Amino acid sequence: MIDQAKVRVLLLESIHRDAVTRLEAEGYSVESVRNALDEVELIERIQGVHLLGIRSKTQVTAKVLEAADSLVAVGAFCIGTDQIDLHAASAGGVAVFNAPFSNTRSVVELAIAEIISMTRRLTEKNALMHEGVWDKSADGAHEIRGRRLGIVGYGNIGTQLSVLAENLGMHVSFYDTADKLALSNAHRCASLEELLETCDFVTLHVDGRPGNLGFFGADQFRRMRRGSLFLNLSRGIVVDHVALRDALASGHLAGAAVDVFPTEPKGRGDEFVSELRGLPNVILTPHIGGSTEEAQSDIGDFVANKLVHFVEDGNTTLSVNLPGVALPEQDGMSRIVHVHLNTPGVLAKVNSILAQHAVNVEGQLLSTRGEYGYLITDISGGYSDEVLDQLRNMEQTVRLRVLS
């Protein structure tokens, strides 16, 4: 059982103050670090930490998780979790939580702003004005109304972008490998090639799984319509930036807006290196798609709450890697959480051990996901250390936690 006053929390990458406040309100000891940590640095800092909070830059590898002697949960204060070795986390009984919805609107609004900015050549006009050049001309400036937006990845962000774009008078096409329902008048493309060849704008909203490495390269840029515009606000690794630079330099693409990069600086003020620097028809932003005060506040509160409920109640609702279980609390009960390999007979064996020691079960809930099962058991009365030892020593046991 973890004493609240002894729960250690390590938050990296300037996670919002609301998360710190929420965790400190539970009596936890919270350390907040401004920048990301590399693998070696994180291994040095992770020992004795019960809760780890990260954003997109910190890599929680199998080596980090192996060095984490006290870790019970990781909070990804962002949408993606590809920076976390989820298999290793599950194998250690470490729950992972993220914020799949909190910054959706912020990313969508940035995409809309960049589409309009490129179409109206706002960045070029702004740069000229700061140089003292008055260039009042309609040449190359267009309305977005009536033009076609191609969305690659029709998830939470893609669907909301689809709706807002249509409200602005755009036509929308989308492509997704999963079977997704088209919203409003959006057209589902049968192939990525169809989308690339028919759209004026192409925007990526895919995840960073290893299979998406280099997903969009020279072949895809060649298929895009001449004079079209490209956006990537998803993951840096999915785009070949050399190929993008070549497509822009040749004039095949009229412009691009990029918010994510294959390699990003660890912290604010560090040098940013990219093949796309210096190109006049490119908008570069420092991974700020979800970086609004509203989104970061929502994310901080949402993920912090998930971590607290997991520590206090064993609640895994919306966990990325463990089965979702939420058993209502009962006064005067002791709660045992059992993470185990998903093999037949585990529940029967747990209850057999409890019955052998005359332990009365007052509430119980089990769920499984893939290789793992997650069991919460509320018991009344006392129990001996021998009961816990037998549960821990079951061959299927991954992790046993006693919450009260």
Q: Measure the CA–CA gap between 5 and 285, rounded to whole angstroms.
A: 40
Are 330 and 378 contacting, i.e. CB atoms less than 8 angstroms apart?
yes
Amino acid at 35: N
Residue 234: DSSP 8-state: S
Are 85 and 63 contacting, i.e. CB atoms less than 8 angstroms apart?
no
> 228 in helix, strand or coil?
strand
Q: Measure the CA–CA gap between 198 and 147, rounded to whole angstroms.
A: 10
Longest C-alpha distance within the chain, in Å?
87
Single out the catalytic residue among 55, 205, 235, 241: 235
Asked about 287 being catalytic, the answer comes back as: yes
Nearest CA-CA partner of 230 in 271, 209, 270, 258: 258
Are 273 and 264 contacting, i.e. CB atoms less than 8 angstroms apart?
no
Are 326 and 315 contacting, i.e. CB atoms less than 8 angstroms apart?
yes
Are 164 and 112 contacting, i.e. CB atoms less than 8 angstroms apart?
yes
Q: Cα 287 to the chain's mean position, in Å?
A: 13
Asked about 225 being catalytic, the answer comes back as: no
> 335 in helix, strand or coil?
strand
Asked about 66 being catalytic, the answer comes back as: no
Place of tokens 């058991």: 377
CB within 8 Å of 156: residues ≥ 6 apart? 79, 100, 101, 104
- Alpha-carbon torsion, ordered 110, 129, 125, 112, to 10 deg: 10
> 313 in helix, strand or coil?
helix
Single out the catalytic residue among 41, 124, 264, 275: 264
180-to-54, 187, 335, 382 alpha-carbon distances in Å? 30, 11, 40, 51
Amino acid at 402: V
Single out the catalytic residue among 45, 225, 287, 338: 287
Q: Which residues are catalytic?
A: 235, 264, 287
